[in-house]
Chain A
C-alpha cells in the first residue's frame, strides 16, 4: 500500500473488516440466546455492547439518545429523526406497506424528491424514458396517498436528496438520518448519524419510524495539520480511502477529526462524509462547531428564536469527550496529501495527478496484484503511464459528492477566461435546482458555458448513469462523482474520480491536470 509513511495506525492490531464483524457478533452474542427470550424487554437506554471506554464518543451520544428499546435476542431499535425518500428505492417499500395494510407512522419526518433518474436536459418537457416516468409517477402517487412532502421535478427545491436535506435545514446535529441510498453518510457532516438502507428497511422506517441496527464500532480518522492550498476535500477523502481500503471501515462509523477536518467548510465536510461508504463504513461524522451552526442558522427548517438557542446548547454538547477511546484510530498528516486521480475500478485505487499508473507487480499480495491487473485491463491503461499523459473524452462535474455551490465555484474559478479542449464533452450538473439558481445568480453558469461546458439541470445524472447521461463503451471520463466501478457510468465506460478543480483543469488540458498545470507552473501555491 502506498503512502504508508504518512499514517500511524494506533490500534493494537489493525481491525480488519472481519474483526469489525466479529465485534458486532460479540455484541449480538451477549444479548442473544437464539431468540427464546425475544419478548423480554429492558429499559430504554441500557446498552450492552461490551466495549471498554465507549462512553463519551459522538457516536455513543447520538446512539443513546435514539435508543427506543434493546430487547433480548433482538437488534436494538433506533428512532429515526429524518427519512429521505427518492423514486428508485421506494416503490417496493410502499407496495409492501399497502399489501400488509400498514400506514406510515410519521409522514412529518419523511421527505421525498426525484433525483436518480430525472432528465438533466429539458427537465420541463415530457419524460421520454417510460420506465423512469413510471417511477416518478409512482412516487407522486405514493406521496400524495400518504401525505409526504415531495419536491418533484420542476420544484425549486428539487435536487439530489443529499444536497437538499442540508439545504433545507432538515439535517441537523445529533439527528438520525436514513435514506435508501448509500451516500446518506453525507449528512454526518453535521454531526448526525446518517446511513444508507435497503428497500426492506425503507419499509420498516415508513411503518415504525425506527430501524433495527447492531451498534457499529467507532473508528477515528484524524487528519492533523493544514491541507496544502491545492488539496481539496475530495483529495483528502480519496487519500483516506487509499490508506484504509474499500473495506477499511466495515462495521464502523468513522468520526473525522483533527485540524484539517475543522478547517473544511460544510461543503467540504459533506464531500468527506459522503465517501465514507467507499471505505465500507456504515457512516461518517464530524462533530458540529461554529461552521456547522453558521450554515444552519436561518434555513427553512432550522430552529428559530428560543428554539435556536436551545438547539445550540444541545448541539455544543455533541463532541467526543477528551480521552474517549476509539475501537480503531488512524492518523494522517494533511501536509502529505496532494491532488489525486483514481486509476482503477474502486475508489481506493488512486494516485497523485503528478504520479503514474502503478505496476500490478508492486502490490503486496497475489490477490491485490490480480485486482490491479484486472483493473488496468478494464481501464485500458499500461503501468508506468504518467497520469498527466492520459487523455479524457468526457468531464462530469456534479453529484452528491461534488455538486454543491462551493464545488461549482471551485471549478468555475479554474475555468474563468479559459476554454475546454476541442472534442471533449464537458457537462456540469448542479446538485439541486436551488444550487443551479444560486450559481446563475452569481454568473457561474456563464463561466461554464463560455468555457464550453453544458449547463444542465439538477439530478444524479452521470454519477450512476440511470437517466441516459452515460459514457459510451471505452469512453474515459474525469468525474467528480464517488464511484469508479466497472460500468458505473455506462457499460464499458472508464471513470476516473477527481475533485472539481482537477476536473475543470482536465477539461481545459484534455488530459489529467491540476489547475497550476494550466499556467505551466504546477506546484506553485495559488488559490483556485
Chain B
C-alpha cells in the first residue's frame, strides 16, 4: 500500500449526515471483479441533480470530501472506498464514521479524519468563501489546515491507523510475523469446533 503522509488539494462539502454506502456506490455497481473503475458510480443517483456538489466547476479535481456525521454507514462493501479513491478523493473529513467503512478506508489507504462539527463547519465556511482554496491534511501531526484562511484544526485518527498510513503497511505482512503464535493457537483449539471440510493444512 502507498504511504499517505499528507493530503493537499481542493475540497468539497457534502453536508448530510448518515451518508450510507448505497449512496456512495449502489449495489448494481458491485459486479466488477476489479478494485478499479468505480469512480463513475460514485454518488451516481445524487449526481443526476445538476446542483449536486460534485457537478460544480472544479469538483472533479477535489481530493478531500467534507461530510456529515456517521459517514459510510450501512454495507461492508469496500467498493465504497474504492469509488471515492477512483474519483480522486484521498481523504474524508467527518464528525464520525461507521466502523466498517473506517476500517476499510485505512486498509485501502483512504484517510478518514474525524473532526468535530465545529471544525467541519469552519472548513465549510472557508470553502464557501473560496471554493478553490487549498486544504492540507497532515497525517503525522493530525491537523487539517486552510492556509489561505489562516485556519488549522486538529483531527482524530487512531494511532494504529496513523502508523499504517504513514508507513504504507500491508497488514497481512505484519500479521504473518506472528505465524508462530497463530500456529500455537491452532494447536489449542478444541477439536469439536466445526470444519467446513476435512482438514488438510495448506502447504507452507
Given A77-B178, A204-B171, A210-B182, residue A170 in contact with residue B194 (CB < 8 A): yes
Q: A284 to chain B: closest CB distance in Å?
A: 13
Question: Which residues of the other chain, B, contact A25 by a CB distance below 8 angstroms?
Answer: 156, 158-159
By the criterion CB–CB under 8 Å, are A311 and B17 in contact? Answer: no
Task: Please encode chain B, from 157 to 182, with 1 for each CB lying within 8 Å of some chain A CB and 0 for all others.
Answer: 01110110011000110111111011
On chain A, the residues within 8 Å of B74 by CB distance are 182, 277, 483, 485
Residue A410, interface by CB 8 Å: no
Q: Is the CB of B194 within 8 A of A89?
A: no
Contacts of A393 in B (CB 8 A): none
Interface residue tally on B, bucketed by range: 35 or more
A335 at the interface (CB under 8 A from B): no
Contacts of B193 in A (CB 8 A): 81, 172, 175
Interface size on A, residues (CB 8 A): 105
A280 to B184, CA, bound (A): 34
Inside 8 A of A111's CB, which chain B residues have their CB?
Answer: 196
Compute how far the CA of A367 lies from the CA of B203 in the bound complex, rounded to whole angstroms: 56
Shortest CB–CB separation between residue A278 and chain B, in angstroms?
A: 8
State A32–B158 Cα separation when bound (angstroms). 10
| Contact A282 B99, CB 8 Å, known A208-B182, A483-B22 | yes
Is A198 a contact partner of B81 (Cβ separation < 8 A)?
yes
Contact A247 B69 (CB under 8 A): yes
Whether B100 pairs with A89 at a CB distance below 8 angstroms is no
- How many Cβ-Cβ contacts under 8 Å join chain A to chain B? 256
B34 CB contact (under 8 Å) in A92, A247, A371: A92
Cβ of B134 within 8 Å of any chain A Cβ, yes or no, is no
Contact A214 B33 (CB under 8 A): no
Q: Which residues of B contact A389 (CB under 8 A)?
A: none
> In the complex the two chains form, what is the Cα distance from A95 to B34 in whole Å?
9
Q: Does A12 count as interface, using CB distance less than 8 angstroms? A: no
Q: B8 at interface (Cβ–Cβ under 8 A)?
A: no
Contact (Cβ within 8 A) B95 A18: yes
Query: Would A74 and B160 count as touching, CB distance under 8 A?
Result: yes
Q: CA separation between A137 and B194, bound complex, in Å? A: 27
Assess the B197–A147 pair: CB atoms within 8 A: yes
**Is A407 engaged at the interface, CB distance under 8 Å to the other chain?**
no
> 11 A-B contacts, Cβ less than 8 Å apart?
A18-B95, A28-B159, A44-B185, A77-B181, A89-B30, A107-B197, A116-B30, A147-B197, A199-B79, A207-B172, A310-B192
A residues neighboring B (CB under 8 Å): 17-18, 21-22, 24-25, 28-29, 32, 34-35, 38-39, 41, 44, 68-69, 71, 73-75, 77, 79, 81-82, 88-89, 91-92, 95, 100, 102-111, 116-117, 129, 131-132, 134-135, 138, 147-149, 169-170, 172, 175, 180-182, 184, 195-201, 203-204, 207-210, 212, 214, 216, 246-247, 250-251, 277, 280, 282, 301-303, 307-308, 310-311, 314, 346, 367, 371, 374, 464-466, 483, 485-488, 491-492
What is the interface of chain B, defined by CB distance below 8 A to chain A?
Answer: 16-18, 20, 22-23, 26-28, 30-35, 45, 68-70, 73-79, 81, 95-100, 103-104, 107-108, 114, 156, 158-160, 162-163, 166-167, 171-172, 174-179, 181-182, 184-186, 189-200, 202-203
